[in-house]
Structure 1
């Protein structure tokens, strides 16, 4: 039988890619640099640049407008803020789902690889774990793709957000760019989709048993005893 380890190289790569993709997904979710706003009013926003994330908005200010912070002012979003656009709400939910589902995929892949490298030739167990891992990777990648694409579209359209006065933010920026979280999210999507594809491509090795006859010739086990005995009788008749 072909070695289990020799048939699981792609799945090992899937685990590595899935791990990196999951880490990048989690990292981008916590970043505030989803949208980079360039504003004209530098009285409060001293640098003229504000960062809009999916959990909070931040900017640099030399005024003491936030307790405990002399330079950076951040205001966290709450679930009751009606001014938050839908793409941010969607990003919050889908990225949390992606983080959880991706972790399930990593766990399933670890169990499958554990059986492979320990030589536990349980076909159903191994294939099902790789199947679950692959589906989780792909689903997590799609959950990241939707908010990343939607927020990138909003940046390209220079869409505004009606922040309340307590945020010290203008309603619309002079211009805005995609922050670092968006390309990181795109890389996470690519890695998760690749890892899912590799996991789903696993094929359990097929057994090929052979038998050895007295003359030292390997005979396939598929040859039945009846066929062998018939061949012996035919040979005896020829000799007689």
Structure 2
């Protein structure tokens, strides 16, 4: 028998791009969250921080120390940041929460986009259901983008203004560096936010075609 369906696959190129950009942006969000190089501190005290450089992330602080091993070997010492460390600035703890939200919301956005694209190429759902999936996916991508952009921008501002951090004494970290610079995690986060924003824009731009019909024949 003969089955009629809308030939709307040709209108979904931007939505395919939305899924691709959203997936890459989501992966970069996870990478940025896991990197310790959010802020790179240059310090005077090289007795414990042997290289004179410490890396400040949103989960931990790391530096190279030769104290417990021979001078020929390098040992990376890391101190985890905990919720009870009230001296840690708010932008670090907020970054932890928002990036976790971005990871979950971004994954849901990809799932919604997959359902919409599957519906287009297989002709399973009605027009309103396809559009609804793209709108939900776009909203989730947009939310994820903002959840990445806010902590990245806030921490970038802190680096530019050379703001200090009162670390606990057990961290062996000075409260202020001689100089500090942006670490790799911040540009990765900015790219992630841009890609997620583009995914949201492409998802919102979907328009269901009107009046164009193609024939799919199946034999029994």
Shift of 1:121: 4.9
1:56 aligns with 2:60: yes
The residue aligned with 2:188 is 184
Q: Pick from 177, 185, 193: which aligns with 1:173?
A: 177
Structure-1 separation of matches of 2:6 and 2:140: 28
Structure (1 or 2) with the larger CA radius of gyration: 1
Q: Which has the higher contact order (CA 8 A, sep 6+)?
A: 2
The residue aligned with 1:123 is 127
The residue aligned with 2:13 is 9
1:195 aligns with 2:196: no
Maintained 8 Å contact 1:63/1:70: no
Structure-1 separation of matches of 2:190 and 2:166: 27
Structure-1 separation of matches of 2:85 and 2:211: 61
**What RMSD, in angstroms, separates the aligned Cα atoms of the two structures?**
1.5
The residue aligned with 1:217 is none
SS at match of 1:87: helix
Structure-2 separation of matches of 1:121 and 1:44: 63
What is the TM-score normalised by the length of structure 2? 0.90
Shift of 1:119: 2.3
* Cα deviations by residue, 1:114-144 (Å, 9 ceiling, x for unpaired): 1111122511111111000001001110111
SS at match of 1:182: helix
SS at match of 1:173: coil
Q: Residues 102 and 160 from structure 1, CA distance in 2 versus in 1: closer, same or farther, beyond 3 angstroms? A: same
What is the TM-score normalised by the length of structure 1? 0.83
Structure-2 separation of matches of 1:173 and 1:17: 37
The residue aligned with 1:79 is 83
Number of equivalences: 206
The residue aligned with 1:43 is 47
Structure 2 gap ranges (5+): 214-220
The residue aligned with 1:134 is 138
Query: Post-superposition, which runs of at least 4 consecutive aligned residues in structure 1 deviate over 4 A?
Result: none
Q: Residues 208 and 71 from structure 1, CA distance in 2 versus in 1: closer, same or farther, beyond 3 angstroms? A: closer
Structure-1 separation of matches of 2:107 and 2:126: 23
1:97 aligns with 2:101: yes
SS at match of 2:21: helix
Q: How does 1:14-25 map to 2 (within 5 A)?
A: 14-25=18-29
